[in-house]
């Protein structure tokens, strides 16, 4: 097996998912998998080319938030709603669940606060109800960043 990996390396063939990254300026429209996003500050965007496509977004200059976006391989991701909350929200404080319509898109949103590594954090998971492929967005930001709270809770990251 070790020899096989060495041959792959020698030929320049990677056994890991292909990663790409780019720098995106604030308020610039960024399109990925036919979905459009806007970010509140300069960010680094990384995407993986695997069977389940994944986009990871984090600030380029200062700490404060991150976002993970995935396309899901099934049409109805809400079969077990507690599974979604438990998979993202560790020791959730005041968990909420609500629906929101933006343009012609409907989303199921799970939201909760939590304390992690002495940081007060706000979490939201957005699940596209009609989008094909199914869209899943996890956003986490520091609660003391009021500019980010306004940006994410006002849906400014999804220019629909």
Domains present along the chain, CATH in parentheses: 17-153 (3.40.1000.10)
User: What pTM was computed for the model?
Assistant: 0.78
Q: How many CA atoms lie within 13 A of 151 on its CB side?
A: 19
Q: Classify 41 as helix, strand or coil.
A: coil
Q: How far is CA 133 from the centre of its chain?
A: 15
Question: Model confidence over 102-142: pLDDT tens digits?
Answer: 888 888 888 998 887 778 899 999 988 877 777 889 999 99
Higher pLDDT, 51 or 140: 140
Whether residue 134 contacts residue 153, with contact meaning beta carbons closer than 8 Å, is answered with no
Whole-angstrom CA distances from 67 to 1, 8, 80, 125 are 36, 33, 23, 10
- Asked whether residue 75 carries a pLDDT value surpassing 90, the answer given is no
Q: How far apart are CA 97 and CA 108, in angstroms?
A: 7
Whether residue 142 contacts residue 132, with contact meaning beta carbons closer than 8 Å, is answered with no
């Amino acid at each position: 097996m070790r020899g096989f990996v060495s041959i792959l390396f020698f030929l320049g063939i990677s056994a890991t998912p292909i990663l790409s990254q780019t720098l995106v300026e604030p308020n610039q429209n960024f399109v990925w998998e036919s979905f459009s996003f806007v970010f509140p500050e300069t960010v680094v965007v990384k995407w993986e080319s695997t069977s389940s496509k994944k986009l990871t977004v984090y600030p380029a200059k200062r700490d404060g938030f991150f976002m993970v976006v995935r396309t899901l391989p099934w049409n109805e991701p809400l079969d077990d709603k507690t599974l979604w909350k438990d998979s993202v929200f560790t020791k959730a404080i005041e968990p909420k669940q609500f629906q929101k319509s933006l343009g012609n898109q409907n989303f199921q949103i799970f939201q909760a606060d939590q304390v992690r590594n002495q940081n007060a954090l706000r979490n939201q998971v957005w699940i596209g109800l009609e989008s094909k492929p199914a869209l899943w967005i996890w956003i986490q930001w520091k609660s003391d960043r009021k500019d980010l709270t306004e940006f994410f809770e006002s849906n400014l990251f999804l220019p629909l």
